[in-house]
Chain A
């Protein structure tokens, strides 16, 4: 009987605009069908978050925006515009 598994796609956008270019990306595949690792592609799977949505990916996390803490206005750390998307895919279950 078919069962559903979750596939996650993390897209990091140039800006908070979901139409802006993807600058970093990760995939985690709950079906186990797609082997992924670091550095396995130099081209993003979609040019923007909206482009991924058009292919059926559902946005499940939106990055919140916070003002910089005083004194940390120029500090940089993690990528700020992280969108998590999902697709559910059927597998042939036991």
Chain B
């Protein structure tokens, strides 16, 4: 894997803090058009869950998207080589569909530190009047089951995906999200793909900037919607970063070090 296609440590820290990374207009226009035609005809084959992604879609435009070197670099950095295909979905919101989807996280409560990723691929322009998917940065460590969060409607810091065609977002499996209303005359599409790792998720990215002084600040982001629990969020990010780094001593601003200080050595008698 060419290092220039891998994520940097700062991008990985952003993923640890936000639970998502966004790549605007990453996919070339020619491929976006081919995918648009493919999903419009509902002609994307459905591979078998748990089989290697490399076996999926040998002849389709969707397959070409996920074989692009830049996309392979994102995949390798987060879930390593040879991930497994979990499932995909062509999400649609019809013209003049005025109701937003309720907030949810996909699947069910997931207690792993190991994580799956989901790609959200927008193959056509998505202005705000068309949606798109609303995401809640920083929500991925919360232990909830699917639509348990359906009572909530709005959060400080919620981020609607408005983008140009070819934009790719990769999210941690736990991210809270909901489709937004489509006030236009056009059908809106979003292609979602979930992948599972097959290797330990340990320093799989380009680690040249591992000591970048900006990383503690990135891991300390305050997304505001969780209010007083921001310090608990930071603790969960530190634990995740320790997992990714293989460094059980890593800390940010001494949050865990003070809690782990339990000296047992006794003073010698004078």
Which residues from B are CB-within-8-Å of A42? 154, 156, 158
Q: Is B4 at the interface (CB under 8 A from chain A)?
A: no
List of A residues within 8 angstroms of B155 by Cβ: 23-24
Pair B156/A44 contact, Cβ less than 8 Å: yes
Is there contact, CB below 8 Å, between A23 and B235? no
Q: A21-B227, A26-B154 in contact; A38/B143 too (CB < 8 A)? A: no
Are A37 and B98 touching (Cβ within 8 A)? Answer: yes
> Hey, which bits of chain A sit against chain B, CB under 8 A?
10, 12-15, 20-21, 23-27, 35-42, 44, 74-81
Q: Which of B103, B144, B227 has the most CB of A within 10 A?
A: B227
B100 touches A40 (CB 8 A): yes
- Report whether B160 and A39 are in contact in the complex, using a CB–CB cutoff of 8 Å: yes
Inter-chain CA distance A21–B222, complex, in Å, is: 14
Chain B interface residue count, Cβ-Cβ cutoff 8 angstroms: 35
Contact A38 B226 (CB under 8 A): no
Given contacts A23-B156, A37-B100, are A81 and B144 in contact (CB under 8 A)?
Answer: no
B37 beta carbon closer than 8 Å to chain A? no
A14 to B230, CA, bound (A): 10
Q: How far is the CA of A39 from the CA of B98 in the complex (A)?
A: 12
Q: Which of B41-49, B145-153, B208-216, B242-250 contacts A (4 or more CB under 8 A)?
A: B145-153
| Cβ-based interface call for B225 (8 A) | yes
Contact with A along B110-122 (1 / 0, CB 8 A): 0000000000000
* A35 CB, nearest partner CB in chain B, Å: 8
Q: Give every chain A residue within 8 A of B148 (Cβ-Cβ).
A: 78
B158 touches A39 (CB 8 A): yes
**B226 contact set on A, CB distance < 8 A:** 23, 76, 79
Given contacts A39-B100, A42-B158, A78-B144, contact A10 B151 (CB under 8 A): yes
- List residues of B whose CB falls within 8 A of some A CB: 98-103, 134, 141-144, 148-149, 151-156, 158, 160, 178, 180-181, 224-229, 232-233, 235-236, 239
Closest to A37 in B: B100
* B103 neighbours in A (Cβ, 8 Å): 38
Shortest Cβ distance from residue B268 to the other chain A in the assembled complex, whole angstroms:
35
| CB-CB under 8 A for A38 and B154, given A15-B228, A81-B227 | yes
Contact yes or no, A38 B180, CB < 8 A = yes
Contact partners of B154 in chain A: CB under 8 A: 24-26, 38-42, 44
Choose among A24, A36, A74, A76 the residue that contacts B156 (Cβ–Cβ < 8 A).
A24
The reply to whether B227 and A37 contact each other, CB–CB distance below 8 Å, is no
Q: Closest B-chain residue to A20, C-beta based?
A: B227
Q: Give Cα distance in the complex from A77 to B155, angstroms.
A: 15
Contact pick for A76, options B100, B142, B160, CB 8 Å? B142
Q: Kindly state the separation between the CA atoms of A56 and B226 in the bound complex, as whole angstroms.
A: 26
**Contact (Cβ within 8 A) A24 B100:** no
Q: Is the CB of A26 within 8 A of B180?
A: no
User: Which single residue of chain A is at the shortest CB-CB distance from B158?
Assistant: A39
